[in-house]
């Protein structure tokens, strides 16, 4: 399974990036209610970010089409929802392949 942020930070080389982490945290936050627009002020408060960092992150997400600004704030865009739907649609194939081929470390997932 993947490493947690704590495990990565304990390593000699830290590959974490605050901007990328903020982007993912905001995406997860907005995903809690995809139809409810959220203001920059509310996003910043919930994420413990400055409003300028929240705005910067949302701007970068908007460039990729992941979020959209509407009258009442920001929300995930249909493009990001479509990406999530694509992942969900292919999840069965991924699980089947994972169980069949092993977990990537050379060991069959079903062997003991």
DSSP 20-62: HHHHHHHHHHHHTTTTS-B-HHHHHHHHT--HHHHHHHHHHHH
Distance of CA 40 to the CA centre of its chain: 18
Domains of the chain: 11-76 (1.10.10.10), 77-112 (no CATH)
In this structure, is the dihedral angle defined by the CA atoms of residues 28, 34, 38 and 42, taken in order, positive or negative? negative
- pLDDT tens column, 19-56: 899 999 999 999 998 888 999 999 999 999 999 999 99
Angle in degrees, CA 63, 73, 65, rounded to 5: 20
For position 101, what pLDDT does the model report? 75
- Per-residue model confidence (pLDDT) at position 110: 57
Residues 50-76 have a mean pLDDT of 96
Give the bridge partners for 67, in sequence order: 76
Summarised one tens digit per residue, pLDDT across range 85-107 is 888 888 888 888 888 876 665 55
Would you place residue 16 in the very low, low, confident or very high pLDDT band (cuts 50, 70, 90)?
Answer: confident
Per-residue model confidence (pLDDT) at position 52 = 96
């Amino acid at each position: 399974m993947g490493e947690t942020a704590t495990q990565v930070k304990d390593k000699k080389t830290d590959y974490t990036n605050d901007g990328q982490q903020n982007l993912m945290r905001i995406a997860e936050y907005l995903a809690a209610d995809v139809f409810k627009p959220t203001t920059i002020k509310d996003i910043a408060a919930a994420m413990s970010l400055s409003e300028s960092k929240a705005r910067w992150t949302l701007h970068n997400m908007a460039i990729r089409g992941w979020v959209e600004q509407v009258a009442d704030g920001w929300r995930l865009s249909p493009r990001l929802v479509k990406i999530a739907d694509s992942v969900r649609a292919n999840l069965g194939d991924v699980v089947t392949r994972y169980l069949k081929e092993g977990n990537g470390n050379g060991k069959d997932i079903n062997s003991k």
